[in-house]
Amino acid sequence: MKFCTSCGAEVSLRIPEGDDRERFVCISCEAIHYINPRVIVGCLPVHQGKVLLCKRAIEPRRDYWTLPAGFMENGETTVQGAARETWEEARARVSDLELYRIFDVPHISQVYMFYRCELIDGAYGVGPESTESGLFLEDEIPWDEIAFPVIHATLKEYFTDVVTGRFPVRVSAIERRRPPG
């Protein structure tokens, strides 16, 4: 950040009085600009025991498979955002959204929230951010082509939970992997 969004003056990175970490502070009006984590919301849509996945048409991880998900927008709830992303990426409408998985990913300042849900009428398609979409049984999932660790973990846990019939909400962190040595 270089300029204040309140007055347009330059900002400097410093610890404001009463705070404990560096923030961007306007050198003119002294507005403090907080940069907080981004929230990614998505769905784990299911129809007749199969999970809906989308193949990404955009970077990062273009041509890899993912659950429909994306950045939450201002003015929407997490449920609204997850349903919107599912429509945008897979042209699918969903119902009965239940919070299923939360991941904290502090090294990239992101929080992921996935909702388990039903695919309405089994209908889906391809949105502008996808090149393909499809319903997959566990043994049909292209596991080596899954876009992100959070998607892989969510899918693995889901298929384990299907066996027990219990779908607890899980919260965990994905820490940055340090190179060996």
Residue with tokens 């784990």: 44
Rounded average pLDDT over 162-176: 94
pLDDT tens sequence across 41-85: 999 999 999 999 999 999 999 999 999 999 999 999 999 999 999
Residue 179: per-residue pLDDT: 63
Residue with tokens 């939450």: 72
The token duo for 66 is 């993912």
Band of the pLDDT at 180, cuts 50, 70, 90? low
pLDDT tens sequence across 81-100: 999 999 999 999 999 999 99
Residue 35: per-residue pLDDT: 87
Band of the pLDDT at 142, cuts 50, 70, 90? very high
Residue 26: per-residue pLDDT: 95
Residue 77: per-residue pLDDT: 98
> Rg of the chain over CA atoms, in angstroms?
19
- Domains of the chain by start residue, with CATH: 1-35 (2.20.70.10), 38-173 (3.90.79.10)
Residue 181: per-residue pLDDT: 60
Query: Taking all residues of the chain, what is their mean pLDDT, rounded to a whole number?
Result: 95
Residue 46: per-residue pLDDT: 98
Rounded average pLDDT over 116-143: 97
Smallest CA-to-CA distance from 150 within 107, 180, 97 is with 107
Band of the pLDDT at 175, cuts 50, 70, 90? confident
Residue 64: other Cβ atoms inside 10 A: 17
